[in-house]
Structure 1
Amino acid sequence: LICAQELPEVFPKLLTYKRLPIADNPGERISHLFEPAFNFIDEARRKGACLVHCAGGTSRSAAFVVGYVRMRSPAHASITDALALVRKHRPIAEPNWGFMEQLNLLDAGMSPLYRHCLPPTLTGVMPELPDGKGVEGCDEKEEETTAMCEKKGGKRTMQQQQQQLRVVEFYSGVGGWHLALEQVSKSKGIVHCSDFFQVVAAFDHSSVCNAVYAFNHCGSGDDGVQKSPSAVPTSRPIERLTVKDLDAHAADLWVMSPPCQPHTRQRKALNDQVKDSADARAASFLHLCAMLPCMAHPPQTIILENVVGFESSNCCERWLTSLNAAGYEQKVLHLHLTPSQFGWPNERPRYYGIATRPAPAPAAPPAAPPAPPAPAPAP
């Protein structure tokens, strides 16, 4: 199996060749070649053996061997395990980062070809769109709801206000989480996103990102229409927030995308001996881990996004311990998702963890006043 476009078939009369004409470029697409390559290796092994090679035996051929080991051997539960095994026999094996992204997609079961090989964990699920009509369905619902609001004078009901989610964004960037919540509002047919949620606090160390966030999501637009009642993001360091500060937001939902650099493959390759939790960039996240169990009113739901591989990190272990201590359900929902699942032409697999607390029990109704004593019988 020649995993290169520049190498010749040296012994065409003696060996059966299959060529994968790929370049060692992170932008090179190889995922569509996995299945035919793996089938070729299977057939070759049934007849004897298979040599998988490229020019240097470091990136291209290693990517296909790692993928094959992962898919054909149930004992290796992840791409990381498969890569470790390959490196025992060939220490220089190092698929480039673009190939690793596609291997992680393979591992996460994004392709239906491999979904039968994978356990039911860490697989994304494509949500149903409203009425099965995609964006058009959302638009029709929005127009219908707009007409109803105009007919009623556009007043927001007390029930809508009571259902409003109070949201805190950590590592808020330019407002990706905020935009996602706006899209959820639209998919529900809610005209005013403030009827669905309010970002009561947002934190990011970048003043430039905060300015972009505020421009896009806070205050009024050029047409004078209120964008949302969301708080303007602050550059206050997360590691300086106290339990009292966090409780004061009375949030229903936390969303966060902590720094991913401590958990990337590149960092692990450079220094695998240092734990990710020792990285200074993880300090703010570990501070939240410490604060959460101490809160009197923690949020009902927390959604965390990071790079694939975070779920096997030391920081994630600390996070799960913190969630358990704070009373969240034992089973956190773990997902690997990528934009191509949702119709966007982009492969960017990411890890998502969703933690929920049991809903608080409804307050008991006030006790009925005691019945008045029965009147005395007439003499």
Structure 2
Amino acid sequence: MTEFKNHINTIQKATEAALKATGYDGLWIYSGHPENHFLDDHAPAFQVNPHFNWWVPDTDISHSLLHIVPGQKPTLYLSQPADFWHKILDRSTADWAQSFEVHVIHHQSEMPAVNNQTNHAWIGDRSWQPLAAECTNPDKLLAHLHFSRVRKTPYEIDCIQQANRLALKGHQAAADVFYAGGSEYDINAAYLQACQQSQNQMPYGNIVALNENAAVLHYQYQATNKPAKHRTFLIDAGASYHGYAADITRTYAFDKSGEFNDMITAMDELQVALCDACLVGQDYIELHQQAHLKIATVLSQFKVINGSAESAVESGLSATFFPHGLGHYLGLQVHDVAGHQVDYQGTVKNPPKNHPFLRLTDVLRDNAVITIEPGLYFIPMLLQQQKDNKHINWDKVEQLLPYGGIRIEDNVVVGHKQSRNLTRS
């Protein structure tokens, strides 16, 4: 637990600095609670407030409060209701609880009088908002804390590493079922079984796409029927460890000796080179532009486009085949906070007009964890917009449309002299 204790010390200092900079004397963080569906008495799977999870490494704690005052040990008001409908675990004896002054709460009436604390801020669900609106989720405080979350502590990096190890077990099992001729549903079931996590524990909905479905960037279904012919398999799926996410994508060709498999190999090689370039000070927008040039080179190499890679990037043609951003921050949230933020004050650097979907625009900072996920797709909607473009080899495109597309994604820690690939290490 040494790494966790050091993590608490680090974020205590970061939070105290944020409170001082924004003029608050203390902070309440609410865990959140399940909200029932409309006109129903059932709720979707609970998702803890990430600011609460930054401190408390348990994603199932709801109706609880964390109180942070500079110079004092954090106080956790831990909800453990007397409830015969559900199994209530005793978290107060967990090793991590030693980092807090824990008060076990059996009924909500035992919660502290939050309004009695002057000059405090509140971070959490607005539906449970005991403080004035101007003190609830204040923008300046959130901006300071979000920027603090960009650089990960050793504890956080280890959590993301452990999540990657879990996810990789799933990815191997999924690939095995694909090559055995399974359906999307079969593949997803094998993935969850290998990870030993339920779909609700996944950090996001698994993307399990066969053949043409690999061209749908956020494909949301898992068909039970098997395709007549297996060509391609794209899987974008992670796992969770103490609330920290893995976010990994792989693409496979059923025919390992075919041209599409060679295209996957070329994409894998350029993806590794982009991961190696994730060094402190690297401008992420520039890295995204490098990705476009590398992908355009692959398109030219495989005769998908005519002309040079440079001209394909300059004309915007490469965006037809690679329409999304290169990646994003990763942590307690899959698309972790502060991607467009460049300082503690919350200054925003917007994506350039020709790359509007970039989720990260800052220079890379030490110990930030990012994803690198270049893609190459054959998306009918985008290709239709280029129907008169003579720089596209349409016969080749027709051959490749049934394969859908390629995406390869790793999770990378930014370093000064060398990056660290958490997915491949």
Fold match (TM-score > 0.5): no
Which structure has the highest helix share of the two?
Answer: 1
Which structure has the highest strand share of the two?
Answer: 2
Which structure has the larger Rg over C-alpha atoms? 1
Question: Which TM-score applies when normalising by structure 2?
Answer: 0.26
Question: Which TM-score applies when normalising by structure 1?
Answer: 0.28
